[in-house]
Structure 1
């Protein structure tokens, strides 16, 4: 828990905190701009928040950049840190005198706080756990109808997800989501491969057609397999995978050879072309033509032709060599085929026919294997989505039930006349926080505090923070019961409150006993008073 903060900007340089209720106490005049809300915002900053930097910029403007020494205590051991306004993205480990020892990121700092406070969910960040329930003026997280929102624009589904993580119920959902993501990625890969024709892609109609053709080919191959050329009836004796692959490679080489022969023929024709320009004949029709100039141009063209001819001859040699290499490769394949099986002319025709059918069979089977694989993935995706939805529904129902049970229990403690408790209606993608009977501002804020208290009881949420404006519209008797409930907590509760003489003596005694600092118009939080400067003020 937090036990101390220290700063040169504080009038009381060091502020000590304790277990349970911690009260920032204002005066009985309800004086504003004395530092109550500012101190709570500083506490939010101490716990890794950043709103203090932006909303309370007047403090920095008037006092300059400043640091806060921070001390936590966990399992009887103290941990010291320093965080400042000049580089808020950095926190320093320190000794008890707040001398900086080691620089760490704010992310590592909040990860350590999460670990020290025992927040269990691996997927939950410390800030997403505590920020919502640090309700300080300026943070805009106090919409009474949206108690799970950290800020007004936050998406409903994110707020519900954070709640599930706070209850440490997200592991099963994450596992299903990872499995679903893996299936979606497999589907995407297969679709992409099919789109780029790396693997065959067919429709249901083509799959059915292939099935019939596969059946027909299998029967024909089986019949041929019983031919005299295969006495055992085992077609693999004649048509092995190696034989099929050799035939495919040979066909590929033949196609490649034909391509290079075509290029060689074009090159040869180009070399044979000559340009015979008989410019003298032009004189008969154009007696004034500049024959000398035309001959000079022709000399240039002949020079170019000579250069090109040399390049063409080199290209021709390369093509001839390539064709020779392809011929050698084909001869190697032919020899391998002969080694596998030395066919006579009749057998050769038989084998080619058999290989053709076997190759076609493999292609059809490959197409149908792709289709079956894709269909299986789609079915698995559909099944996994259904399981995920069922799991989500089950989890949110369990959480919804336990929260509403606690809301009613706390509501009954606060309202002796047993007013109707608020209810949370939770789905995985949205929620509603409903009030009944009394929809006034005071009851609405009461219901907001009841909600926070419920989660403080039910989860590993380490603390809650309630600013003074939340209490001002709540009826006196309800506040007295809420203070009593705060005081029963072992977890830390930070509140700002003033005008306490309106409450009963028991409540006043609790607030005075649990105060960590008392502020008034003559006793400000900070060493400097700029209330009359016309600049932004602080509570």
Structure 2
């Protein structure tokens, strides 16, 4: 518990040592009977928040920072019989100093580390809930804008689902919600969400991509084929005139090459025939006479002579034909070279090759992109297939969460019922909390929507949560308490005293309350403030004329 708080800037009328000591239960910051403003009631509650690691004091109370300047708070906690000493300054609000009993600095830690240490000392084990989130919801100070009575469990404009999660974490009932949240994040799918349409779309898209890739592959195959006409006809983004020029040049080049090849083949065939026709057989006839001495070799020689004459005539004819073919070959060779040179001169061949290369690259990139898209689609499809398989598991987790939320609401409602019986003496219905399956909240008193009842419900809700959870302290500003019915107010104060934890409240116009309430307030008063007895000894919001009159 918080035991003492000292600041050299505190007014001497509060304490000569500028030190305030605290009670184990209720601690009251009292204002005067005129209800004077700007005397430091809410400021003191902000300081308590600052002591517990909050940052509203330095961020929201800018007038104090400007008029008081840099100041340091020294404070003592008591846990299990041991004292712990700390200090925190307004010029280094992100740090807290760990101190000796004489407030000599031992070590400096961050505010986050300090709040973690407080959480350990107060035995707050509500992970993943942070200490700062507790203070946001239950350190209710007017300037922090967290005193709305309609939905007291909601801090400012946070999502209702977040408010529910904080209740569950405080009640150590967040396990089902955490399991559901992790499963949904892992699967990318929320319980109750329909995925059949998505799965069908994936299958259709994959099929469309496969068809497109097949068409693109056919175009690519045609572009890289050896048939120039096919390649040219597959080219895109060229004019009809340019396409016609490319086709004409390609056809002429191909036809010239074909004729040249045919001519060279004929020349090779004639050359072979000429070699066969020039062979002589005279020596073979002489050898024949050795085996057949009576044969007429002269007759064979005459025949051979005749053959030679015929061969000479054939050789002449072959040579003439060869000469003609050589002339044709030379012509077509020149024509082939001339056509190639013409293509190179007008850069038609270069444009043709560049077009082919560009479109091959473009089509290949399209195919690669569709392949990657299909891979991603198959991964997503597999994920949603898994989701369909785990649909029942998600539904089970969803219903488990709903049961946990309903059980928590029942526990809170029972506690609020008991506190309401104490506060209203059983004359009014208690507030009722409903947490729906979709994490929506309903909080009201049946047949009673008055402002006083709303603020009474806020107090009852806070006390119920204070009783059921490890919330370390409770802070209620005067704008909450002054709206509570005068008959019920003493019972509210009595409930504060019996809760078993430290409660800090601000209140003024004490003489207008019942005697029972005045006695409780006096017994638990820690600071008395009034016009002329401000927390820091002066009020900078007053005009000089007003100060002179006083």
Deviation at 1:370, TM superposition (A): 7.9
Name the CA distance, whole Å, in 1 between partners of 2:148 and 2:481. Answer: 14
For residue 372 of structure 1, report the CA deviation from its aligned partner. 9.5
Deviations 1:162-186 (A, max 9, x none): 111010111233234334433449x
- Residues 14 and 370 of structure 1: is their aligned pair in 2 closer, same or farther, counting only changes over 3 Å? closer
1:443 matched to which residue of 2? 453
**Aligned equivalent of 2:412, options 396, 403, 407:** 403
Name the structure 2 match of 1:489.
499
- d(CA) in 2 for partners of 1:414, 1:15: 30
Task: Work out whether residues 24 and 496 of structure 1, in 8 Å CA contact, stay in contact via their aligned partners in 2.
Answer: yes
Quote the offset at 1:157 in angstroms.
Answer: 0.9
Give the distance between the partners of 2:440 and 2:542, measured in 1 at CA. Answer: 46
CA positional deviation for 1:457? 1.1
**Which runs of structure 2 are paired with 1:152-171 in the superposition (5 Å)?**
153-171=157-175
Q: TM-score, normalised by structure 2?
A: 0.62
The alignment status of 1:478 with 2:488, answered yes or no, reads yes
Structure 2 distance, partners of 1:109, 1:18, is 23
Aligned mate of 1:53, from 50, 53, 58:
58
Alignment of 1:327-406 (within 5 A): 374=383, 376-406=385-415
1:500–1:508 Cα contact (<8 Å) kept: yes
Question: CA separation in 1, counterparts of 2:481 and 2:53?
Answer: 25
Q: How does 1:295-334 map to 2 (within 5 A)?
A: none
Q: TM-score with structure 1 length normalisation?
A: 0.63
The reply to whether residue 529 of structure 1 matches residue 539 of structure 2 is yes
Kept in 1, the 8 Å contact 2:24–2:502? The answer is yes
| Separation in structure 2 between the aligned mates of residue 375 and residue 144 of structure 1, nearest angstrom | 44
Indicate yes or no: 2:178 matched with 1:174.
Answer: yes
User: Radius of gyration: which is bigger?
Assistant: 2
Deviation at 1:371, TM superposition (A): 10
Cα deviation code 1:147-170 (max 9, x no counterpart) = 01222x211111111111010111
Measured against aligned partners, the alpha-carbon deviations of 1:57-114 in whole angstroms (never above 9, x if no partner) come to: 1111101122211221111112222222222122221222223322211111111111
Q: CA deviation at 1:121?
A: 1.5
Q: Which residue of 2 aligns with 1:7?
A: 7
Alignment of 1:87-106 (within 5 A): 87-106=92-111
In the alignment, which residue of structure 1 is the partner of 2:46? 41
Aligned to 1:217: none
Shift of 1:374: 4.6
Please give the root-mean-square deviation of Cα atoms over the aligned residues, in Å. Answer: 4.0
How many angstroms apart in 2 are the aligned matches of 1:498 and 1:154? Answer: 31
Q: CA deviation at 1:46?
A: 1.5
Alpha-carbon deviation of 1:417? 5.2
- 1:462 maps to 2:472: yes
Mapped pair 1:418 → 2:427 = yes
Aligned partners of 1:176 and 1:384 also within 8 Å: no
Q: Is residue 150 from structure 1 mapped to residue 159 from structure 2 by the alignment?
A: no
1:2-56 Cα shifts (integer Å, max 9, x gaps):
1111112111311111211111122233222211111001111212222222321
Residue number among 19, 26, 33 corresponding to 2:24 in the alignment: 19
Check whether the contact 1:203–1:371 (CA below 8 A) recurs between aligned residues.
no
Q: What SS class does the counterpart of residue 10 from structure 1 fall into?
A: coil
Say if 2:153 is the partner of 1:111.
Answer: no
Cα pair distance change 1:380/1:463, threshold 3 Å: farther
Q: Structure 1 residue 63 and structure 2 residue 65: aligned? A: no
- 5+ residue gaps, structure 2, are 190-201, 208-223, 227-374
Against the structure 1 CA distance between its residues 371 and 16, is the aligned structure 2 distance closer, same or farther, given a 3 Å change threshold? closer
